[in-house]
Amino acid sequence: MRITNQQINRIYAEKNQRDASFFMSSHHFHPYYELYYLNHGTCRFFINNTFYTVEEGDLIVIPMHLFHYTKYSQPCTRTAVFFRAEDLKQIDQAIDFAHTYDELKIYHIPDTSRRRIEEVLEHMLAAMRYKDADAPIALLVQLQELFLLIKRYGCLSDHMEELHTNDQEIVHAAQFISAHYAEHITTKDIAATTGFTPNYLSAKFHETAGICMHEYLVFVRLHHAENMLMTSDLSITDIALQCGFSDSNYFKDAFKKMYGECPRNYRKKGK
């Protein structure tokens, strides 16, 4: 899994071309928000335990720590903007929009409004090329303008795919993992919900979702553990047990690998 552990210290924007050679390294999450805009092409997202087709003019707002996987089967151009909770707080003083970013949002920008969105994104990319002290301020102002344009012109959409049978079973497996992560489930238990053999399901899950099934189970458990560390006073051992880890030492090692800190330090810094 490609993981961005480090927090960013300002707003960032980038524009890249992607193709089928990129998909092997594209499953990840990060401790900040991402705004993903597809300038050209069509690609596929695995996010929130299901698949979405993303088309030209679609814009996705991805919350912090939400696992997502992008598969490109054709050349695409995408623009991404990365920003922090602190940036949202500053912007939310002016517009009541930031609270909606706690959940995944997928917008389609109509053809008639797309040019305005892309102009702001290009201004943000231009600001990234300047190294002066005013660049972060310019990016914050442009991000606020971008939010206003999304609020005015964006049409909420899900673009959920009509899935083939095999992909439906991958979704069922992911949903089963998300519903039963706190239990001592095995690959055999997950496969039993799909009708596939454990070996076939494991191979198909990795091929389709970009991550092996056991790794996805560990990620889901750690995601819930991270939330409990920030919102409860339970001991680290209790959190590990409630999130499906039978070995607290394994939990601590897995947590540090994913979040860059041991659970105790992560909680202390967060609070």
CATH of the domain at 87: 2.60.120.280
Indicate if 27 and 139 belong to the same structural domain: yes
Residues 115, 239 share a domain: no
CA 270, chain centre distance (Å): 20
Residues 147 and 196 grouped into a single domain = no
Residue type, position 217, single letter:
L
120 and 199 assigned to the same domain: no
Q: In this predicted model, which residue has the larger pLDDT, 260 or 61?
A: 61
Residue 95 has pLDDT above 70, yes or no: no
Can you give the pLDDT at residue 96?
59
Same structural domain, 27 and 78: yes
Same domain, 89 and 170: no
Instruction: Identify the residue with better confidence: 118 or 93.
Output: 118
pLDDT for residue 89 = 82
Kindly give the pairing relationship between strand 33-40 and strand 58-62: antiparallel
77-90 mean pLDDT:
91
Q: What is the overall mean pLDDT for the chain?
A: 88
Q: Do both 20 and 142 map to the same domain?
A: yes
pTM, rounded to two decimals:
0.85
Facing residues of 160 across strands? Answer: 52
Query: Which residue segment(s) compose the domain that 41 sits in?
Result: 2-156
Task: Please tell me the number of Cα atoms within 13 Å of 82 on its side-chain side.
Answer: 17
Over residues 116-126, the mean pLDDT reads: 97
**Does position 235 have pLDDT exceeding 90, yes or no?**
yes
Q: Which of 92, 126, 156 is the last residue of a domain?
A: 156
Q: Are residues 18 and 60 in the same domain?
A: yes
DSSP letter assigned to residue 160: B
pLDDT for res 145: 94
At 46, which amino acid appears?
Answer: F
Tokens standing for residue 89: 């707080």
Q: Above 70 in pLDDT, residue 149? A: yes
pLDDT for res 1: 38
Total of domains in the chain: 2
The pLDDT assigned to 226 comes to 93
Q: Report the pLDDT value the prediction gives residue 94, as an integer from 0 to 100.
A: 59
Q: The domain spanning residue 245 has which CATH number?
A: 1.10.10.60
Q: How far apart are CA 105 and CA 113, in angstroms?
A: 18
Tell whether 36 and 152 lie within a shared domain: yes
Among 54-68, 117-131, 154-168, the least confident range: 154-168
Domain boundary residue, one of 156, 187, 203: 156
